[in-house]
Structure 1
Amino acid sequence: MKVSRIALVGGLAVSSLALLSGTASAHVSVQPQGEAAKGGYATVDFKVPNERDNASTVKVEVSLPADHPLASVSTQPVPGWKAEVTKAKLAKPLEVHGKQITEAATKITWTAAGSKIAPGQFQQFTVSMGQLPEDADKLVFKALQTYDNNEVVRWIEEPKDGAPEPQTPAPVLKLSAASDDHHGGASAAAGTKADDKADAKGHDEKKTAAETSGSDTTARVLGVVGILVGAAGVAFGVLAGRRRQA
């Protein structure tokens, strides 16, 4: 009897732990496709799982950071979904590639148009964005997830370093340190190294060709000398034979 009770309690504990961990990990998140470097452009995926057993997700709204406006935002088409990018005037214009940008995207809304995120499923929404800020280590995107039963889940709590994860955390995109490649420095250096390597290779090829040519010339000279020496030997032999006969 005690063994049965222990087994029952243990089973309930494991089930509860699995349920809680599943709930905590299944939230709206954002991940870069490759690298999201400061000062560059990136393609990211917003992953939206369905957390309900009796409802489907029909709308997703992602707010873009107002403290770091993004001048360029474009969405990748998703079958069965309609995407809309909302823009607003900037209080302070941005300068991007020498141009003044007076407005920036503030929100992206995906609305179901023949498709839904059903229970047990998830959907990824791909976005290209930039120019990423150079003075920030991360970008926070607050999101709203709407179900077809009119329930709205607000993924807006910003995670804090060293603190437990919030119940409904906002998606956070971590930015990596900018490399010279994003500003053309590394590419130019690589090009210079490639040119130096090509020059060295050309020099080596010329040197090899010169050495080969010199070797060929020496061989020809030695060949001619050998022929002359041989001819002289033959002539000497003939003369010596005639003298003996005389």
Structure 2
Amino acid sequence: MSTKRFAVRSAALTAACGITALLGAAPAFAHVSAQPGEAAKGGHAKVAFRVPNERPNASTVQIKVTFPEDQPLSSVRTKPMPGWTAQVERVQIAPVQVAGSEVREAVRSITWTAQPGNRIGPNEFNEFEATLGALPDNVDSFAMPTTQTYDNGEVVNWDQPTPPNGEEPEHPAPTLKLVEDAEGGHSHGGAEEQPAAAGAGDDTARWLGGAGLLVGALGVGIGAGALARSRNAAPTGKDES
């Protein structure tokens, strides 16, 4: 094989490896999700519902998060968001014990609606924050089916559970993984503690994305350098291929 052909093939292979690494490192942000992805059992947690706009020709104008009836929440506080209104629906239920307390009224849903002139446009996302509690202490996950409404009338349901094999469905419901409190008690200060976990997850995603970009750039640069050297090298003999 000639030096020139070897350099060209090396450049192509290196660039392809860089692109593959970049694609593999890119996080999946193409669906509504709950950030951070876990919280302490029986405690209160600050949750941000991250909502990307998936349509190139329509904007998101309403988000409705519904909470399971068999895992009732007694308390929800929403963070004010300029340009959006938040409506919390509460319902009376038969008395049940949740995290050691009797619950007679449960939060059924939160609906965020865009005011005139506001929306989540194409290639944009937004986060809707709320503090939830008390979370169940007898299950390992807490799914919150969500509907996303666009200004063209389309409604997308994010309500599919993740199967036991862990493979993500097409429209997964935002879900919190519930874990035992590391300090041995239920956390009631989740609003202050959770942002650190969220930041760690975002930092990891950014690090992975940056690493992918760096590998891709190095691959292209190395390949281009090898090709340039092969063109500038003086011939040393016949083609050995």
**TM-score (normalizing by structure 2):** 0.62
Residue of structure 2 in register with 1:103 after alignment:
105
1:53 aligns with 2:33: no
Q: Distance in 1 between matches of 2:59 and 2:175?
A: 24
Residue of structure 2 in register with 1:32 after alignment:
36
Instruction: Point out which structure has higher relative CO (alpha carbons under 8 A, 6+ apart).
Output: 2
> Residues 89 and 110 of structure 2 are in contact (CA less than 8 Å); yes or no, is this contact kept in structure 1?
yes
Residue of structure 2 in register with 1:205 after alignment:
none
Q: CA deviation at 1:44?
A: 0.6
**TM-score (normalizing by structure 1):** 0.61
> Residues 93 and 103 of structure 1 are in contact (CA less than 8 Å); yes or no, is this contact kept in structure 2?
no
Instruction: Choose which of 126, 131, 149 in structure 2 pairs with 1:146.
Output: 149
Equivalent position SS for 2:40? coil
Residue of structure 1 in register with 2:74 after alignment:
71
Q: Distance in 2 between matches of 1:45 and 1:111?
A: 16
> Residues 95 and 103 of structure 2 are in contact (CA less than 8 Å); yes or no, is this contact kept in structure 1?
no
Q: One-letter code of the match for 2:110?
A: I
Structure 2: segments with no counterpart, 5+ residues: 1-18, 188-241
Structure-to-structure mapping, 1:107-186, within 5 angstroms: 107-114=109-116, 115-183=118-186
Q: CA deviation at 1:95?
A: 6.3
Residue of structure 2 in register with 1:84 after alignment:
87
Q: CA deviation at 1:101?
A: 3.2
**Bigger Rg over Cα:** 1
Pair 159,97 (structure 1): closer, same or farther in 2 beyond 3 Å: closer
Structure 1: segments with no counterpart, 5+ residues: 1-13, 185-246
**Number of aligned positions between the proteins:** 169
How well do the aligned residues superpose, as a CA RMSD in angstroms?
3.0
Q: CA deviation at 1:79?
A: 0.7
Q: Distance in 1 between matches of 2:35 and 2:53?
A: 18
Identity over the aligned pairs, expressed in percent? 45
